């Protein structure tokens, strides 16, 4: 049973008939996701790749009972698509679109605060409950069911961490890519709260980046509220100074931020979190922590 999705989740793809929407929707269907239709304005009433297409999210929800949506549309259209999902009371909205304008995301954040909807992303690879369902663009074949949760700001590093775990036959309960843009919906602490309540999760991998302070806030929350072992990585610390990341949430790093990244790792360790020094150590570190039965 996943923390956000399972085999009963009813999904819509917003942007179903586009190239990316079509490709990833078929991947979702083949994985076993309960994809029940899509939305493309102007193409309502048609059938695309076997899925019914609707003009609006509201109509799609009323006709299908959908409770989740995957946003696969260009950046200038994405905020309106998210807002339409919020207005239609969609419970879970996953947005893979990258680079949504900040002024658009401010409107989204305001709407979210007044709703019961949860947004994952933007710039998210998605969510997966291995063996049951996935919503997003994650390569399903590298995942295996198990008891380790994964939360990450980076899609690529999510895949690398999961590959290392699966290779060691350490399965995953749920994996969430929270997104790399500056303004996102669900953050580390939101996911940690869900994992803390999930009986199927025994440990959590948390992958952060050098820029920002979200990892610091998560470390403090873990220290005071989270009893399960946590293994973390701060990506890019071993790459030298003045590293530029594509993620707008990571920013462009300058020399004095090298010290801030080191301080971030120190805070994680002081909070009882096991920290992998490099990407290649993640699987080994998780195996060690699980063998010891704690942090």
d(Cα 153, Cα 148) in Å, to the nearest integer? 17
Q: Would the CA dihedral through 153, 157, 158, 161 be positive or negative?
A: negative
Element at 232 (helix H, strand E): strand 230-235
Active-site residue, 247 included: yes
| Angle (nearest 5°) at CA 139 between 137 and 140 | 110
d(Cα 245, Cα 251) in Å, to the nearest integer? 6
Q: What is the DSSP letter of 237?
A: G
d(Cα 112, Cα 108) in Å, to the nearest integer? 6
d(Cα 85, Cα 249) in Å, to the nearest integer? 24
DSSP result, 60-116 = HHHHH---EEEE-S-HHHHHHHHHHHHHTT-SEEEE------HHHHHHHHHHHHTSS
DSSP result, 15-31 = TTTSHHHHHHHHHHHHH
| Angle (nearest 5°) at CA 93 between 92 and 96 | 140
Catalytic (active-site) positions: 247
């Amino acid at each position: 049973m996943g923390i956000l999705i399972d085999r009963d989740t009813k999904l819509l793809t917003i942007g179903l008939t586009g190239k990316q929407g079509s490709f990833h929707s078929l991947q979702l269907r083949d994985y076993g996701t309960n994809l029940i239709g899509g939305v493309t304005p102007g193409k309502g009433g048609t059938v695309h790749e076997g899925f019914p297409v609707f003009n609006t999210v509201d109509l799609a929800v009323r006709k299908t009972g959908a409770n989740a949506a995957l946003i696969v549309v260009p950046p200038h259209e994405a905020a309106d698509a998210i807002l339409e999902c919020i207005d239609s009371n969609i419970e879970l909205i996953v947005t893979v679109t990258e680079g949504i304008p900040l002024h658009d995301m401010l409107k989204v954040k305001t709407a979210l605060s007044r709703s019961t909807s949860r947004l994952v992303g933007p710039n998210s690879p998605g969510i997966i409950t291995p063996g049951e369902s996935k919503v997003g663009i994650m390569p399903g074949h590298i995942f295996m069911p198990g008891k380790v949760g994964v939360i990450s700001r980076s899609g690529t590093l999510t895949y690398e961490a999961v590959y290392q775990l699966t290779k060691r036959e350490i399965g995953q309960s749920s994996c969430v890519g929270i997104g790399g843009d500056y303004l996102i919906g669900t953050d580390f602490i939101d996911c940690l709260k869900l994992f803390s309540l999930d009986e199927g999760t025994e440990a959590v991998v948390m992958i952060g980046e050098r820029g920002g302070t979200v990892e610091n806030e998560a470390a403090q929350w873990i220290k005071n509220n989270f009893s399960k072992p946590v293994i973390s990585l701060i990506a890019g610390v071993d790459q030298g100074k003045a590293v530029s990341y594509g993620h707008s949430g990571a920013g462009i790093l300058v020399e004095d931020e090298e010290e801030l990244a080191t301080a971030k790792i120190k805070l994680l360790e002081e909070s009882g979190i096991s920290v992998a020094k490099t990407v290649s150590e993640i699987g080994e570190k998780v195996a060690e922590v699980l063998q010891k039965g704690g942090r």
